[in-house]
Chain A
């Protein structure tokens, strides 16, 4: 059992706070999770952005995840940057109503994919539609793994 101990105590491979923030920012997207009405835990990959150190995503009000989060805001968002780190943020979703903040989130999303000029305008036009909602993650807990260090440890 001695050989397995280090690899099975993942606390040894946690990310620092700064590394965690870097992985979330660098990932630029992650899988968001919700529970369906029947309890099935479901997820989808979405674009995410960090604005004023807060984590946001967007979707439309007819989507399963939006309906599910209105019913039960509990969620987990999972980020992975290969060879660097994995972050699971456990928390709850808050729907954002302020138009200014929503527009800042849309602009941050356009920035993240380096859109400028007409292409940027079209991208934001497609996002900024009736029914579009912006959701903020309110974190309760972070679970992190320094996958770079794990990779090294796994072959040492």
Chain B
């Protein structure tokens, strides 16, 4: 995929699967909401969660984004915790925007999200692996390899 298509998939997916390594070496993962601000990928979770604890120990991660029949993007990189309150507010607002809540619903959503243990993490990419799944599927059902 081109850089533009890759960015489009990450933005359109609005969520991704992130990985971490447990203390015993078992690789683990979970699906999380993600937002893109100023060209950077952000996710959020609370301090006591396994992934937050694991990333404080070892920040290496992979984020996998998928938009069916459009593209798959795997971002290999690391997690950076960012405690900046202004950034935190922008990330939480972008998450509310992402699910389209407004008015009172938005206020309730943000009050549930904006808790003392909430942490904001940036995924710092080191490498992208991409696949144009639309083209792959078309090729899989055609005779191109014969």
B-binding residues in A (CB < 8 A): 1, 3-4, 7-8, 29, 31, 33-35, 39-45, 72, 74-76, 78, 80, 86, 88, 90, 113, 115, 119, 122-123, 126-127, 143, 151, 153-156
Interface string of B106-134 (1 = CB under 8 A from A): 00110111011100000000000100000
Number of chain B residues close to chain A: CB under 8 A:
42
**In the complex, A126→B141 CA distance in Å?**
8
Q: Are A154 and B60 in contact (CB under 8 A)?
A: no
Given A1-B116, A45-B64, A154-B109: A143 and B142 interface contact (C-beta under 8 Å): no
Say yes or no for B62: interface residue by CB 8 A criterion. yes
Say yes or no for B39: interface residue by CB 8 A criterion. no
Say yes or no for B58: interface residue by CB 8 A criterion. yes
**In the complex, A34→B48 CA distance in Å?**
24
Say yes or no for B28: interface residue by CB 8 A criterion. yes
Q: Are B108 and A156 in contact (CB under 8 A)?
A: yes
Q: Are B141 and A123 in contact (CB under 8 A)?
A: yes
Interface string of B18-61 (1 = CB under 8 A from A): 01110001111111000000000000001010000000001011
Report which of A74, A80, A113 forms a contact with B26, defined as CB distance below 8 A: A74
Say yes or no for B85: interface residue by CB 8 A criterion. no
Chain A residues with Cβ below 8 Å from B29 are: 31, 33, 41, 43, 76, 78, 88
